């Protein structure tokens, strides 16, 4: 579970960085997509282990 939280933090930082730096909007979009995908994957993995 620690890896998933770490990945979520990394994707969130990349998204914020992408929105702050105007030329890196693509980084924000990729970061948001990866954030959502990692969150869904972690949620599904947690549900199957319960």
Dihedral of alpha carbons 20, 7, 41, 50, sign: negative
Mean pLDDT split into 10-residue runs, the chain, 50 residues: 85 85 81 89 81
Of 36, 31, 29, the residue nearest 12 (C-alpha): 31
Tell me which long-range contacts 19-25 makes (C-beta under 8 A, separation of at least 24): none
pLDDT number for residue 31: 84
0.75 exceeded by the pTM? no
CA 9 → CA 38, 48, 49, 50, distances in Å? 10, 23, 23, 24
pLDDT number for residue 2: 82
């Amino acid at each position: 579970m620690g890896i998933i939280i770490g990945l979520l933090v990394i994707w969130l930082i990349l998204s914020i960085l992408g929105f702050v730096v105007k030329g890196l909007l693509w980084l924000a979009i990729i970061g948001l997509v990866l954030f959502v995908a990692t969150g869904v994957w972690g949620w599904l993995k947690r549900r199957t282990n319960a």
